[in-house]
A and B are shown apart, each in its own frame.
Chain A
Amino acid sequence: MDILIDLFWTAAATIRDVIPIAVVLFGFQYLVIRRPLPHLRNIIVGFIYVVAGLTFFLVGLEQALFPLGELMAKQLTDPSFIHGIGIVVEGVRWQDYYWVYLFAASIGFASTIAEPSLIAIAIKANQASGGVIGIWGLRIAVAVGVAIGVALGAYRIITGTPLHYYIIVGYAIVIIQTTRANRAVIPLAYDSGGVTTSTVTVPLVTALGLGLATTIPGRSPLIDGFGLIAFASLFPIITVMGYAQFGEWLRKRRRLKGEADEI
């Protein structure tokens, strides 16, 4: 019964999210463009699918994954799990948190693979590139970026180093890569930073950040709990450009090898 009530309220909330979008779209379509939409019926059915799909998706996540994932984040950051029950440790040793890093990386990777807006971008990139960019290749590259970002973000909270050092170094890497990357991949790489952080990733990653910031002495959940999302959106830019550069390097090497073989 509970799941039905959840479905109802989530559907109401999703419809509320869609209304401003629908108003803008149809408002401009009928007041400014003033032309009937082709395949209007298909588009409306598509919108209904999107709303219904997101509703089932969110309710299912609430029911199945979020409570367990959030509980896990709390248990893994609990001092009695990290140091053993009843053992009190002075200060914070970052090496003790190895399970936290592994969890951060794997939950970052796995939740990104399930992220619907990344699937959307990957489908579009595959179409726009005429199939050169693989849907799974892009998604895995982004997911690896999020994994690195969240694990490093956890390390930052544990050690208490300032956020902006990491961000500035990250940006510097992005700038260097940009000067060497193929210009067709740059906008896509920049976009993939923004899409990683939505429905699935944010709640799980936030729970981890808050868990760490609450249990580690000297950290404030309100100040140190933030920032993991920023890491999760910075590193995919680096890995997507890296993925494209690696692909190009492989092709070049293969070509050189081919030429060498011919001689």
Chain B
Amino acid sequence: MADSIRDLAPIVVVVAFFQFAVLQQPVPNLGGILLGLFSVVIGLTLFIQGLEMGLFPIGETMAVAFARKGSLFWLLAFAFALGFGTTAAEPALIAVAAEAAKVAAEGGVVGASEAAQADYAFYLRGTVALSVGAALMLGVFRILKGWPIQYLIISGYITVVILTFFAPASIIGIAYDSGGVTTSTITVPLVTALGVGLATVIKGRSPMVDGFGLIAFASLTPMIFVMLFGMLWASLS
């Protein structure tokens, strides 16, 4: 509880400073705001508690169980399903995809009709979900092999830069942002616990050097996949 209050103090200070000192305006509906802040504090406290009780243990337990089972196929299938399943239904992604369809329609890449835009948004979401599934698969495979992460990530970045020159202008901002929306508050702890758990139980891997990095893959591949999607879509229509 005290921790949560400390976590939220900066944002309250910033908002209050700009409201009173810079914009010099009173706070509308102060009671409602205090009630809301109280709810935020309770929520954060419960979430952290649930993290330690539920999300971290299940991620670790499954990592141990898969390592013991020793089946590469099922571990990779699990990684893919986790990435694909959590991303396809992600509300932030649904919002970004709809917005992207609007941009594409303005740019003339997509028909102006609502059905054409919905189609585009649907395929875009599928592309991002696929890319996150692929990212977790690749990331888990890297942990097993103990490859240094930087070669993979940097070649990924270089691919992003190269694709930027070829992708349609209207897709670039969306592609860059789509890397950020894929990692939700529930997925991050789960995936981190899985990676660190795997790196802890596999012989010769260290949790710091090998366990982290899954999130990095999940935020990189959507950029590449979305730009490729934009190029493919432009060349097809």
Contacts and interface: CB of A to CB of B under 8 A. Distances in A.
Given A25-B58, A45-B53, A222 B102 contact: yes
A60 B40 contact: yes
A109 B7 CA distance: 11
Contacts, number: 337
Contacts of B58: 25, 37, 43, 46
A39 B48 CA distance: 18
Contact of A35 (B65, B177, B218): B65
A62 B106 CA distance: 31
B202 interface: no
Contact of B164 (A119, A164, A185, A197): A164
A175 B154 CA distance: 7
B177 A56 contact: no
A3 B32 CA distance: 9
Nearest to A191: B215
B contacts with A: majority SS: helix
B111 to A, nearest CB: 17
B134 to A, nearest CB: 15
B233 interface: no
Interface residues on B, range: 35 or more
B2 interface: no
Contacts of B49: 46, 49, 53
Given A114-B7, A187-B209, A222-B102, A193 B48 contact: no
Contacts of A21: 82, 85-86, 186-187, 190
Interface in B65-87: 65-66, 69, 74, 77-78, 81-82, 85-86
A87 interface: no
B103 interface: yes
Contacts of B192: 120-121, 124, 191
A38 interface: yes
Given A49-B46, A187-B149, A117 B189 contact: yes
A45 B37 contact: no
Chain A, interface residues (CB within 8 Å), range? 35 or more
A194 B173 contact: no
B215 A68 contact: no
A18 B184 CA distance: 11
Contact of B19 (A43, A51, A68, A226): A68
**Which 6 residue pairs spanning A and B have beta carbons closest together?**
A46-B54, A64-B36, A49-B50, A63-B36, A57-B43, A56-B43
10 contacts: A58-B43, A63-B32, A64-B37, A65-B36, A116-B44, A163-B176, A175-B154, A187-B213, A194-B216, A223-B169
